Structure 1
Amino acid sequence: MEPETFPEELADALVGVQRLIRRRLRPQMADPPLRGAEVELLRLVVGRPGIGISDAAKDLYLASNSVSTLVNQLARQGYLIRETDPADRRAARLLPTPAAEARLGEWRKRRADLVRGQVSRLDEADREALRAALPALRKLAVHLHEEAEES
Structure 2
Amino acid sequence: MDKMVSYYSKTRKTQRWPVAFSYNILDIAALAAYIIYTENNSPFQNQANYRGRFLKELEKQLSMSAILTRSKIPNVYRNFATRLGIKCVLDKPLVAADYEENPDSRNSPPRDATGLRKVVGNCFMFMSVAEKRFHKTRKLCSG
TM-score where L is the length of structure 2: 0.26
Higher strand share: 1
Tell which structure's C-alpha radius of gyration is larger.
2
Higher helix share: 1
TM-score where L is the length of structure 1: 0.25
Instruction: Between the two structures, name the one with larger relative contact order (CA 8 Å, sep ≥ 6).
Output: 1
